[in-house]
Structure 1
Amino acid sequence: MDELPISKAFTLLEPGPVVLVTTHDGRRDNVMTISWTMVLDFSASFALTTGPWNYSFAALQRTKECVIAIPTVDMIDTVVGIGTCSGKDTDKFAKFGLVREKAGHVRAPLIGQCLAHIECRVVDFIERYGVVVLEGVAAYMDAGRRERRMIHAIGDGSFVVDGRRIDRREMMRSKLPDGL
């Protein structure tokens, strides 16, 4: 085996799909790309990493709500583009032609082009690690959308795309907690 610099170890543990997180700060909508997300348990609890370096962070702190929008591989250039400019001086919805859709429980919008959405409330900030803990309050899936492959960031500017799904639900059924 070849040694990998410890500073690159994070690229071995790809967390979850790249997501777009929408916010509304009381005046306008914004969207940011987040490449580190995590499911916290078998309920609708999630975490993402961000901090004061992201313009949307202030809106998350103030409003304590957002939408996690899940893009698919056909949106890769939009996702990267959103992540390489700031909402401080750019209307990302206009620049990237994003379709705003009204959320049911939060002021942040859904994004019409995305496969799925989770409306969330912020329940904790873990400042030391830049972690925002979220509780989902509603979720939506575009069942008619043909493209469903999600994007996963490696952390070095490259990405992996979901592939073939392998079903082992029956094999695991007796091992999972009741109700799953």
Structure 2
Amino acid sequence: MRRPRKHSVPVEHTRRYLEPGPVVLLSTAHRGERGIMTLGWHMMLGYDLVGTYLWQANRSHALAKRSRECVINLPTDALLDTVVGIGNCSGREGDKFERFGLTAHAATDVGAPLIAECHANFECRLHETRITADYPLFVWRVVRAHVAPRPVWPRTVHYRGEGRFMIAGPTRARRALFRPDMLDN
């Protein structure tokens, strides 16, 4: 097996290599207000638990904290410019659904809207918070999932830092190497 030669890089470049997964759009709503934010700081904590870091300065932080609900929407590469645009403006400047021409659909189990243009929507209720002075971590339980049947493996976007994104590419199966009890369905 090849051993790549390595060199030192600044620690702030870590995210280029360890960013956890696709960029998502988090939609929230509370008492007639709704919001969308671009979110790259999230992690799976179990099969139905998702942790998100919602910075307190974001309007979506307050909406999520008050409503205790959200929808995690999975955009594909077709929405890349919209994802960047949403991340570069504030909901205080106006409704992002209208500004970016997105369709808000009513969720089944939560008050936050689904984004119809996204490949998948995960309705969530707050499971717990770990909000410290510096790290507001919300732990969400997915209570309902809506996923388009095609494509099975969508071309999701992954932030690499410095305004660069990676688009999900080919998928390679290794099911035969797994113990059967280690495969999820």
TM-score (norm 2): 0.90
Q: Give the SS at the match of 1:154.
A: strand
1:24–1:107 Cα contact (<8 Å) kept: yes
Structure 1 alignment gaps of length 5 or more: none
Where in structure 2 are there 5+ consecutive unaligned residues?
1-5
Check the 8 A contact 2:153/2:171 in 1, yes or no: no
Residues 72 and 147, structure 1, Cα contact 8 Å, conserved in 2:
no
Superposition deviation, residue 52 in structure 1: 1.2
- 4+ long deviations beyond 3 Å: 144-147
Task: For residues 46-95 of structure 1, give each alpha carbon's deviation from its aligned partner in whole angstroms, at most 9, with x where no partner exists.
Answer: 01111211111111111100000000001000000001001112210001
Other-structure match for 1:171: 177
Verify: 1:104 aligned to 2:132, yes or no: no
Out of 128, 134, 155, which is 2:161 matched to? Answer: 155
Q: Aligned letter for 2:93?
A: D
Aligned match for 2:52, one of 48, 51, 56: 48
**Residue in 1 that maps onto 2:77:** 73
Q: Does 1:94 align with 2:98?
A: yes
Percent identity (aligned): 37
The verdict on how the C-alpha distance between 1:15 and 1:115 changes in structure 2, with shifts beyond 3 A counting, is: same
Structure 2 residue 26 is matched with structure 1 residue 30: no
Q: 2:75–2:117: 8 Å Cα contact kept in structure 1?
A: yes
- Give the length in aligned residue pairs: 178
TM-score of the superposed pair, with normalisation by structure 1: 0.92
The answer on whether the counterparts of 1:74 and 1:147 sit within 8 Å (CA) in structure 2 is no
Whole-angstrom distance in 2 between the partners of 1:146 and 1:28 = 33
Distance in structure 1 (CA, Å) of the matches to 2:11 and 2:138: 25
Aligned-partner Cα distance in 2 for 1:97–1:147: 25
* Structure 1 counterpart of 2:141, one-letter code: E
Distance 1:147-1:97 versus aligned 2 partners, 3 A rule: farther
Q: Which residue of 2 aligns with 1:134?
A: 140
